[in-house]
Amino acid sequence: MWANLIFGSVDTRNILWSNAVISLASSACVLASLQLAHVKFLNGLGGAFAVGIGSATWLAYTWQRHVKSTRVGGLRPDHQMWHQKRRSALKACALLLIPLASIPAILTRQVFPLPAGTSPLTPLALLLAATSITALYAGLPGERGQRQALRRIPGAKMLWIAGSWVTITALWPIWWSTAGGSALPPETLFICGERFLVIAALTLPFDLRDTQWDPAGMRTWAQVLGTRGTRWLALGMVTIAIALRLYILPAPAWGPLVGLLAMGPAVLMARKGRPEGYYGLLDALLILDALGLLLFLD
Protein backbone atom coordinates (compact mmCIF):
# COMPACT_ATOMS: atom_id res chain seq x y z
CA MET A 1 0.00 0.00 0.00
CA TRP A 2 2.66 2.52 1.06
CA ALA A 3 4.77 1.59 -1.96
CA ASN A 4 1.79 2.34 -4.21
CA LEU A 5 1.26 5.73 -2.59
CA ILE A 6 4.93 6.74 -2.78
CA PHE A 7 6.19 5.15 -5.98
CA GLY A 8 3.07 4.30 -7.96
CA SER A 9 2.11 0.97 -9.53
CA VAL A 10 4.24 -2.15 -9.61
CA ASP A 11 5.13 -1.47 -13.24
CA THR A 12 6.42 2.01 -12.49
CA ARG A 13 8.30 0.86 -9.40
CA ASN A 14 10.21 -1.40 -11.77
CA ILE A 15 11.87 1.76 -13.10
CA LEU A 16 13.43 2.43 -9.71
CA TRP A 17 14.24 -1.25 -9.20
CA SER A 18 15.96 -1.61 -12.57
CA ASN A 19 17.91 1.63 -12.12
CA ALA A 20 19.18 0.55 -8.71
CA VAL A 21 20.21 -2.94 -9.81
CA ILE A 22 21.92 -1.83 -13.03
CA SER A 23 23.82 0.87 -11.12
CA LEU A 24 25.04 -1.67 -8.55
CA ALA A 25 25.90 -4.03 -11.40
CA SER A 26 28.11 -1.44 -13.09
CA SER A 27 29.90 -0.77 -9.79
CA ALA A 28 30.37 -4.52 -9.41
CA CYS A 29 31.83 -4.71 -12.93
CA VAL A 30 34.46 -2.14 -11.97
CA LEU A 31 35.47 -4.14 -8.90
CA ALA A 32 35.51 -7.37 -10.93
CA SER A 33 37.76 -5.80 -13.57
CA LEU A 34 40.20 -4.57 -10.93
CA GLN A 35 40.25 -8.01 -9.32
CA LEU A 36 40.93 -9.73 -12.64
CA ALA A 37 43.78 -7.27 -13.25
CA HIS A 38 45.15 -8.16 -9.78
CA VAL A 39 44.76 -4.57 -8.62
CA LYS A 40 44.22 -3.93 -4.94
CA PHE A 41 41.75 -1.20 -4.20
CA LEU A 42 44.37 1.46 -3.55
CA ASN A 43 43.37 2.42 -0.01
CA GLY A 44 39.68 2.45 -0.82
CA LEU A 45 39.97 4.55 -3.95
CA GLY A 46 38.93 1.59 -6.08
CA GLY A 47 35.68 1.44 -4.15
CA ALA A 48 35.18 5.18 -4.64
CA PHE A 49 35.82 4.73 -8.37
CA ALA A 50 33.18 1.98 -8.47
CA VAL A 51 30.63 4.13 -6.61
CA GLY A 52 31.25 6.90 -9.11
CA ILE A 53 30.65 4.62 -12.09
CA GLY A 54 27.46 3.31 -10.47
CA SER A 55 26.20 6.86 -9.99
CA ALA A 56 27.08 7.75 -13.58
CA THR A 57 25.16 4.67 -14.73
CA TRP A 58 22.06 5.84 -12.88
CA LEU A 59 22.37 9.22 -14.58
CA ALA A 60 22.88 7.65 -18.01
CA TYR A 61 19.87 5.34 -17.81
CA THR A 62 17.68 8.10 -16.38
CA TRP A 63 18.78 10.41 -19.19
CA GLN A 64 17.91 7.82 -21.81
CA ARG A 65 14.47 7.30 -20.30
CA HIS A 66 13.98 11.06 -20.21
CA VAL A 67 14.87 11.28 -23.90
CA LYS A 68 12.34 8.58 -24.73
CA SER A 69 9.70 10.30 -22.60
CA THR A 70 9.80 13.35 -24.89
CA ARG A 71 8.46 11.32 -27.84
CA VAL A 72 5.06 9.92 -28.64
CA GLY A 73 5.15 6.24 -27.73
CA GLY A 74 8.71 6.47 -26.48
CA LEU A 75 7.74 4.89 -23.16
CA ARG A 76 4.89 2.69 -22.07
CA PRO A 77 1.90 4.81 -20.94
CA ASP A 78 2.28 4.10 -17.20
CA HIS A 79 6.03 4.79 -17.33
CA GLN A 80 5.36 7.98 -19.29
CA MET A 81 2.92 9.19 -16.63
CA TRP A 82 5.34 8.30 -13.85
CA HIS A 83 8.13 10.31 -15.47
CA GLN A 84 5.94 13.35 -16.04
CA LYS A 85 4.73 13.42 -12.44
CA ARG A 86 8.21 13.02 -10.97
CA ARG A 87 10.28 15.06 -13.41
CA SER A 88 11.31 17.55 -10.69
CA ALA A 89 12.28 14.79 -8.25
CA LEU A 90 14.34 13.02 -10.92
CA LYS A 91 16.17 16.27 -11.72
CA ALA A 92 16.92 16.84 -8.04
CA CYS A 93 18.23 13.29 -7.67
CA ALA A 94 20.42 13.75 -10.75
CA LEU A 95 21.91 16.94 -9.31
CA LEU A 96 22.71 15.13 -6.07
CA LEU A 97 24.41 12.28 -7.95
CA ILE A 98 26.57 14.45 -10.22
CA PRO A 99 29.31 14.93 -7.56
CA LEU A 100 29.52 11.16 -7.02
CA ALA A 101 29.50 10.50 -10.76
CA SER A 102 32.44 12.91 -11.11
CA ILE A 103 34.71 10.87 -8.81
CA PRO A 104 36.22 8.63 -11.55
CA ALA A 105 37.06 11.68 -13.68
CA ILE A 106 38.64 13.45 -10.70
CA LEU A 107 40.71 10.39 -9.75
CA THR A 108 41.82 9.96 -13.36
CA ARG A 109 42.77 13.63 -13.63
CA GLN A 110 44.97 13.24 -10.55
CA VAL A 111 46.82 10.31 -12.10
CA PHE A 112 46.96 11.65 -15.65
CA PRO A 113 47.18 15.46 -15.54
CA LEU A 114 45.98 16.48 -18.98
CA PRO A 115 47.85 19.82 -19.15
CA ALA A 116 51.11 17.98 -18.58
CA GLY A 117 50.56 15.93 -21.71
CA THR A 118 51.06 12.61 -19.94
CA SER A 119 47.65 11.10 -20.70
CA PRO A 120 47.83 8.17 -23.17
CA LEU A 121 45.75 9.09 -26.17
CA THR A 122 44.22 5.70 -27.03
CA PRO A 123 42.46 4.98 -23.69
CA LEU A 124 41.36 8.60 -23.47
CA ALA A 125 39.92 8.54 -26.99
CA LEU A 126 38.06 5.28 -26.30
CA LEU A 127 36.68 6.71 -23.08
CA LEU A 128 35.43 9.85 -24.80
CA ALA A 129 33.87 7.72 -27.55
CA ALA A 130 32.10 5.50 -25.00
CA THR A 131 30.78 8.55 -23.14
CA SER A 132 29.46 10.04 -26.38
CA ILE A 133 27.83 6.75 -27.36
CA THR A 134 26.13 6.56 -23.96
CA ALA A 135 24.82 10.11 -24.29
CA LEU A 136 23.49 9.57 -27.82
CA TYR A 137 22.39 5.96 -27.49
CA ALA A 138 18.70 6.96 -27.37
CA GLY A 139 19.31 10.14 -29.37
CA LEU A 140 18.36 13.67 -28.33
CA PRO A 141 15.07 14.82 -26.77
CA GLY A 142 12.09 15.33 -29.06
CA GLU A 143 10.73 13.57 -32.11
CA ARG A 144 13.54 14.80 -34.34
CA GLY A 145 16.08 13.60 -31.78
CA GLN A 146 15.46 10.03 -32.94
CA ARG A 147 17.64 10.78 -35.94
CA GLN A 148 20.69 10.87 -33.63
CA ALA A 149 19.77 7.64 -31.80
CA LEU A 150 22.70 5.28 -32.26
CA ARG A 151 20.60 2.33 -31.08
CA ARG A 152 18.55 2.53 -34.27
CA ILE A 153 21.53 1.77 -36.55
CA PRO A 154 20.83 -1.75 -37.94
CA GLY A 155 22.67 -4.48 -36.08
CA ALA A 156 24.66 -2.07 -33.89
CA LYS A 157 22.59 -1.95 -30.69
CA MET A 158 24.47 -4.81 -29.03
CA LEU A 159 27.87 -3.42 -30.03
CA TRP A 160 27.12 -0.01 -28.54
CA ILE A 161 26.01 -1.48 -25.21
CA ALA A 162 28.78 -4.04 -24.73
CA GLY A 163 31.49 -1.76 -26.11
CA SER A 164 30.54 1.15 -23.86
CA TRP A 165 30.25 -1.04 -20.77
CA VAL A 166 33.64 -2.62 -21.41
CA THR A 167 35.33 0.73 -21.91
CA ILE A 168 33.77 2.39 -18.86
CA THR A 169 33.74 -0.51 -16.36
CA ALA A 170 36.89 -2.40 -17.43
CA LEU A 171 39.36 -0.45 -19.56
CA TRP A 172 38.93 2.84 -17.69
CA PRO A 173 39.43 1.51 -14.12
CA ILE A 174 42.36 -0.68 -15.20
CA TRP A 175 43.97 2.26 -17.01
CA TRP A 176 43.44 4.46 -13.94
CA SER A 177 44.90 1.79 -11.65
CA THR A 178 48.22 1.92 -13.50
CA ALA A 179 48.74 5.23 -11.68
CA GLY A 180 50.45 6.92 -14.57
CA GLY A 181 52.35 3.86 -15.75
CA SER A 182 53.39 3.67 -19.36
CA ALA A 183 51.62 0.38 -20.14
CA LEU A 184 48.43 -1.45 -19.27
CA PRO A 185 48.65 -4.86 -17.54
CA PRO A 186 49.34 -7.64 -20.08
CA GLU A 187 46.00 -9.34 -19.35
CA THR A 188 43.95 -6.21 -20.12
CA LEU A 189 42.94 -7.36 -23.62
CA PHE A 190 41.69 -10.70 -22.31
CA ILE A 191 39.79 -9.00 -19.47
CA CYS A 192 38.10 -6.63 -21.91
CA GLY A 193 37.23 -9.54 -24.21
CA GLU A 194 35.74 -11.51 -21.33
CA ARG A 195 33.79 -8.48 -20.11
CA PHE A 196 32.47 -7.78 -23.62
CA LEU A 197 31.16 -11.33 -23.98
CA VAL A 198 29.54 -11.28 -20.53
CA ILE A 199 27.73 -7.99 -21.14
CA ALA A 200 26.66 -9.05 -24.64
CA ALA A 201 25.35 -12.40 -23.39
CA LEU A 202 23.30 -10.81 -20.61
CA THR A 203 21.97 -8.13 -22.96
CA LEU A 204 20.63 -10.62 -25.53
CA PRO A 205 17.61 -11.65 -23.38
CA PHE A 206 16.71 -7.95 -23.05
CA ASP A 207 16.88 -7.61 -26.83
CA LEU A 208 14.65 -10.66 -27.15
CA ARG A 209 12.12 -8.99 -24.85
CA ASP A 210 12.32 -5.76 -26.85
CA THR A 211 11.65 -7.37 -30.23
CA GLN A 212 8.00 -6.40 -29.78
CA TRP A 213 8.95 -2.71 -29.41
CA ASP A 214 12.13 -2.29 -31.46
CA PRO A 215 11.41 -1.29 -35.08
CA ALA A 216 12.08 -4.13 -37.52
CA GLY A 217 14.61 -1.96 -39.31
CA MET A 218 16.94 -2.05 -36.29
CA ARG A 219 17.81 -5.64 -37.15
CA THR A 220 18.91 -6.45 -33.59
CA TRP A 221 20.58 -9.80 -33.13
CA ALA A 222 17.49 -11.12 -31.34
CA GLN A 223 15.26 -10.03 -34.23
CA VAL A 224 17.51 -11.80 -36.71
CA LEU A 225 18.16 -14.99 -34.72
CA GLY A 226 14.81 -15.52 -33.01
CA THR A 227 14.34 -17.04 -29.56
CA ARG A 228 16.30 -20.26 -30.04
CA GLY A 229 19.23 -18.65 -31.85
CA THR A 230 19.44 -15.86 -29.28
CA ARG A 231 19.61 -18.36 -26.42
CA TRP A 232 22.40 -20.39 -27.99
CA LEU A 233 24.41 -17.35 -29.00
CA ALA A 234 24.23 -16.05 -25.42
CA LEU A 235 25.28 -19.45 -24.04
CA GLY A 236 28.19 -19.58 -26.49
CA MET A 237 29.35 -16.14 -25.35
CA VAL A 238 29.19 -17.18 -21.70
CA THR A 239 31.17 -20.36 -22.49
CA ILE A 240 33.95 -18.41 -24.22
CA ALA A 241 33.94 -15.90 -21.35
CA ILE A 242 34.50 -18.76 -18.90
CA ALA A 243 37.44 -19.98 -21.01
CA LEU A 244 38.95 -16.50 -20.97
CA ARG A 245 38.40 -16.24 -17.21
CA LEU A 246 40.27 -19.51 -16.70
CA TYR A 247 43.13 -18.16 -18.81
CA ILE A 248 43.26 -14.93 -16.80
CA LEU A 249 43.11 -16.54 -13.36
CA PRO A 250 46.51 -17.34 -11.79
CA ALA A 251 45.21 -20.77 -10.73
CA PRO A 252 41.97 -22.43 -11.93
CA ALA A 253 39.30 -22.50 -9.22
CA TRP A 254 35.52 -22.79 -9.06
CA GLY A 255 34.93 -19.90 -6.64
CA PRO A 256 35.82 -17.06 -9.05
CA LEU A 257 33.65 -18.74 -11.72
CA VAL A 258 30.41 -18.94 -9.70
CA GLY A 259 28.90 -15.85 -11.31
CA LEU A 260 29.73 -16.89 -14.86
CA LEU A 261 28.51 -20.45 -14.31
CA ALA A 262 25.15 -19.12 -13.14
CA MET A 263 24.82 -17.03 -16.29
CA GLY A 264 24.64 -20.09 -18.56
CA PRO A 265 21.30 -21.45 -17.28
CA ALA A 266 19.98 -17.90 -16.90
CA VAL A 267 20.42 -16.96 -20.57
CA LEU A 268 19.01 -20.32 -21.69
CA MET A 269 15.79 -19.34 -19.91
CA ALA A 270 15.37 -16.29 -22.16
CA ARG A 271 12.12 -15.90 -24.02
CA LYS A 272 9.60 -13.21 -24.82
CA GLY A 273 7.23 -12.34 -22.03
CA ARG A 274 9.48 -13.10 -19.07
CA PRO A 275 8.47 -11.17 -15.90
CA GLU A 276 10.52 -8.14 -14.83
CA GLY A 277 12.12 -10.12 -12.01
CA TYR A 278 13.95 -12.27 -14.56
CA TYR A 279 15.70 -9.23 -16.02
CA GLY A 280 16.59 -7.98 -12.57
CA LEU A 281 18.16 -11.39 -11.96
CA LEU A 282 20.31 -11.05 -15.10
CA ASP A 283 21.71 -7.73 -13.87
CA ALA A 284 22.17 -9.16 -10.37
CA LEU A 285 24.38 -11.92 -11.78
CA LEU A 286 27.02 -9.26 -12.48
CA ILE A 287 26.96 -8.47 -8.76
CA LEU A 288 27.24 -12.18 -7.91
CA ASP A 289 30.19 -12.47 -10.29
CA ALA A 290 32.02 -9.62 -8.56
CA LEU A 291 31.32 -11.13 -5.15
CA GLY A 292 32.77 -14.45 -6.28
CA LEU A 293 35.95 -12.72 -7.39
CA LEU A 294 36.22 -10.65 -4.22
CA LEU A 295 35.69 -13.66 -1.95
CA PHE A 296 37.74 -16.32 -3.73
CA LEU A 297 40.45 -14.47 -5.66
CA ASP A 298 43.50 -13.35 -3.73
pLDDT of residue 208: 94
Q: Are 53 and 26 in contact (CB under 8 A)?
A: yes
Q: Which amino acid is at 223?
A: Q
Q: Give the Cα separation of 284 and 278 in Å (integer).
A: 10
Q: With respect to residue 189, please indicate whether it lies within any of the assigned structural domains.
A: yes
Please indicate, yes or no, if residue 1 is contained in any of the structural domains. no
Q: How far apart are CA 103 and CA 53, in angstroms?
A: 8
Q: Range of 16's domain?
A: 7-296
Query: Which CATH number characterizes residue 247's domain?
Result: 1.10.600
The parts of the chain modelled with pLDDT lower than 50 are 1-10, 12, 115-118
Rounded to an integer, what distance in angstroms lies between the CA atom of residue 272 and that of residue 207? 9
Structure pTM?
0.89
Under 8 Å between Cβ of 13 and 32:
no
**Assigned domain for 73 exists:** yes
Q: What are phi and psi of 150, to 5 degrees?
A: -65, -30
Tell me what pLDDT residue 114 has.
55
Residue 3: the pLDDT is 35
Q: Is 45 contained in some domain?
A: yes
Instruction: Indicate whether 2 belongs to any domain.
Output: no
* pLDDT of the residue at 172: 94
Map residue 191 onto helix, strand or coil.
helix
- State the total domains in the chain: 1
